[in-house]
Chain A
Amino acid sequence: MKRTPIYGMMAEFDSAQALVDAAHRTHEAGYLKIDAYSPFPIEGLAEAIGFRKNAVPLVVLIGGLLGGLSGYLLQYWISVISYPVNVGGKPYHSWPAFIVVTFEMTILFGGIFAVFGMLALNGLPMPYHPVFNVPRFALATKDRFFLIVFATDAKYSPSTTRSFLEGLGPRSISEVPS
């Protein structure tokens, strides 16, 4: 990615509805590299900025399968191959007794993959990010809603993007230094 001194152009909105409408209009206007920031999850906002691929469910599925399989195989290997002990004449491969640990390992790995997979896909932890350079962005975790057009977007130009965003009726507009 080409590094420019400007990261993007950011517009601030007063309400969730205004942000969703603005995101729709920006995306329809042909800006593809955009993002929106809100103090709480807003239904439909991710679709409005053109975000479709969500890999979290797949990651959790892989984690769960990995956990369940490793849990069962661990017990099988220990009880049948490495350390067979005759307990009350039960078979070495007494699978009903292995279900509990298999189940718990499925949940454990699925949960760990859900949390760390989500963080990794989101690129977190990331202590520094250019959007934090905008002083008003501190309100993005309180009651304000922000839309950004990245400078890497093909249609981006400092003057036309600014006037386009002004047409969306924002509260303020700022250029984000990178």
Chain B
Amino acid sequence: MDEPRQPATLSDRAPVIEPGYTFGSVTDKISSIVLTRPTSNGWFLGFGVAFLLTMMMLYAIGYLFIRGVGIWGVTIPIGWGFAIVNFVWWIGIGHAGTLISAILLLLRQSWRNSINRFAEAMTLFAVACAGTFPLIHMGRPWLFYWLFPYPNSMNYWPQFRSPLVWDVFAVSTYATISFLFWFIGLIPDLATLRDRSTNRWAQMIYGILSLGWRGSARHWHRYETAYLLLAGLATPLVLSVHTVVSFDFAIAIVPGWHTTIFPPYFVAGAIYSGFAMVLMLAIPIRKVYGLEDFITERHLQNSAKVMLATGLIVAYGYGIEAFMGWYSGNRYDAFLLWNRLHGPYAPWYLSLLACNIFIPQLLWIRKLRTSPLALFLLSAVILSGMWLERFIIVVVSLHRDFLTSSWGMYYPTRWDWMTFIGTIGLFVAAMFLFVRILPMISIFEMRTLLPEAEVKE
């Protein structure tokens, strides 16, 4: 193998891990957050607020189950309201986790080692939030299992030519694989926690979860093979999931949906919003837990660059949509463009352009890319922009289609908002629990980044 070539600029780049750490100090630093650090009042406050929001979501869903989807703002012609907007938004956010853990692993980007664990956790929780919406938006959610092909007394099977059925398979596969990937990554670290904790209960629980991992060379060898193959499987999977989600739209004939640019444009948008969420989580976490040595400026910069690149792909998608509206000569496509810019939802569309295209161009400025506060705020802007994009795609395309007699407007109700904000609470509450009870940075992968881990044959 070639000697690893060091780019000339490496010296003036921030390192992936600050110098001076040993295997022991890396282990102590990450595991002590879970094992010995007292739970702060700030944690209880943050978790408490997020928990209350989760309760609000459950209240809204409980009322929905009693009264039915009529409590939402959905009406004909806008049959897909907040439920689908939020589903697409959340599942897109999850994509960054898989990108970081699988694609960057295959590309040997070792800087991913310090952010992959919580990015994968973020994926899991985002998919859980996303999965809630298709379930509750069914008129009779207790019959959700009709989505799956199983032998039944009605002699009835799902329709496999429908993208909605593909979506069931894509999302459930994605949830399963994301969980497995996250869990096998955790096994060696759970063994570390088992051996480091002094509390009998913690030893038992971490011991059971670690499956008796003992770090044998044979085990590591098979483990690494399985991990790499899983990354190889997760890479096409993550690209396929948002592609299939975009098929839900692209296969329909509604103007604004029926376009071939959707799959790549959805995937780029997913990664765009996902990295924004990674930054919104990483920036406060590294500050509060003093992890600036592990999640360095380099990680923030790289994430910012990924956002800049995917943001430009998204901008290209908008450009092509506008261009095709004019170039196709199709009056309905042309009207869609006019309606976005001048119709009743024009302020939403203009905010979308500002949040997703114009404001993120500030990331070209190096000073802002290295400022945690600026990145945090820009990430919030991008996440809002991507939510608006989902809203524009779902609502604006549906509200004025081919016949003026069937035009309408969509007004979300308080139940829509309570459910949406509630899922943010669920997501944040799950993240709070995660950083408290599991190592949020992969300890064993951090050890491999240290110079002492190098071995000559």
Contact = CB atoms under 8 A, between A and B. Distances in A.
Contact of A101 (B23, B160, B207): B160
B226 A100 contact: no
Interface in A106-154: 107-108, 110-112, 114-115, 117-119, 121-122, 124-129, 131-132, 137-143
A66 interface: no
B56 interface: no
Most chain-A Cβ atoms within 10 A of its Cβ — which of B192, B219, B444, B456?
A: B219
Interface stretch (A75-83, A155-163, A165-173): A75-83
Interface string A24-52: 00000000000111111111111011010
B166 A100 contact: yes
A46 B221 contact: yes
Interface size class of B (residues with CB under 8 A): 35 or more
Contacts of B155: 82-83
A51 B237 CA distance: 32
A112 B176 contact: yes
A6 interface: no
Given A35-B216, A111-B234, A90 B161 contact: yes
A15 interface: yes
Contact of A142 (B170, B195, B240, B455): B195
Contacts of B326: none
Interface stretch (B135-143, B305-313, B336-344, B446-454): B446-454
B318 to A, nearest CB: 26
A122 B180 contact: no
Contact of B169 (A44, A104, A127): A104
Contacts of A37: 214-217
A37 to B, nearest CB: 5
A60 interface: yes
Interface in B22-38: 22-24, 27
A177 to B, nearest CB: 16
Given A43-B455, A132-B214, A141 B192 contact: yes
Contacts of A57: 225, 229
Interface size class of A (residues with CB under 8 A): 35 or more
A54 interface: yes
B212 A127 contact: yes
B226 A115 contact: yes
Contact of A122 (B22, B219, B453, B457): B219
Nearest to B23: A143
A56 interface: yes
B195 A141 contact: yes
A1 interface: no
Contacts of B221: 41, 45-46, 51, 54
A155 B316 CA distance: 69
A75 B217 CA distance: 42
Most chain-B Cβ atoms within 10 A of its Cβ — which of A60, A78, A107?
A: A107
Interface string B1-38: 00000000000000000000011100100000000000
Contacts of B177: 107-108, 111
Interface of A: 15-17, 20, 23, 35-46, 48-49, 51, 54-57, 60, 64, 74-75, 78-79, 82-83, 85, 87, 90, 94, 97-98, 100-101, 103-105, 107-108, 110-112, 114-115, 117-119, 121-122, 124-129, 131-132, 137-143
8 contacts: A41-B223, A41-B448, A104-B169, A104-B173, A111-B233, A115-B184, A124-B213, A126-B211
> Across chains A and B, which 3 residue pairs bring their CB atoms closest together, nearest first?
A143-B23, A125-B211, A118-B226
